[in-house]
């Protein structure tokens, strides 16, 4: 794995920032490659994974702002399709249910409350 390089700490990850554990299962063969890379680079498995994620985010030009906009667009599309099949009377009730669904999805992923509220406010009825 010659192409693995240590990526400098980004502005997104501050020393004092709260860290979250993300559990992921990988095949043993992949884990062995990651572990060998960590050993050969004198770093941790966690650092190898963090660096890979940072590179992926940079390569895909992912930012908090762009992802929030994509989420708003996704929910807007879902609502637009959903309301097409509703009568005028059903729309009000279903709007409340739909926003509850959006909140639940974001809460399950521990999305920051400010971001959650920002997304909900941007969805157009």
Q: pTM for this structure?
A: 0.72
- Assess whether pLDDT exceeds 70 at residue 14: no
Model confidence at 9: pLDDT above 60: no
What does the DSSP assignment read for the chain?
Answer: -TT--PPPPPTTS-TTSPP--------HHHHHHHHHHHHHTTS-HHHHHHHHHHHHHHHTT--HHHHHHHHHHHHHHHHHHHHHTS-HHHHHHHHHHHHHHHHHHHHHTT--HHHHHHHHHHS--
According to the model, what pLDDT value does residue 87 have? 87
pLDDT, tens digit, for every residue of 61-81?
A: 989 999 999 999 999 999 999
Query: Domain 1-61 has what CATH class?
Result: mainly alpha
For the chain, what are the domain ranges? Answer: 1-61, 64-122
* Between residues 13 and 46, the one the model is more confident about: 46
């Amino acid at each position: 794995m010659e192409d693995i390089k240590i990526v400098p700490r980004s502005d997104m990850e501050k020393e004092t920032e709260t860290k979250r554990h993300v559990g992921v299962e990988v095949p043993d063969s992949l884990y062995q490659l990651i572990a060998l890379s960590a050993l050969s680079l004198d770093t941790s498995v966690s650092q190898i994974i963090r660096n890979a994620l940072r590179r992926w985010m940079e390569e895909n030009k992912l930012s908090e702002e762009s992802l929030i906009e994509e989420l708003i667009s996704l929910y807007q599309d879902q609502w637009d399709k959903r309301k097409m099949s509703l009568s005028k009377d059903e729309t009000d009730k279903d709007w409340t249910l739909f926003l509850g669904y959006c909140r639940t999805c974001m809460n399950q992923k521990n999305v920051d409350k400010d971001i959650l509220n920002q997304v909900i406010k941007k969805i157009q009825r």
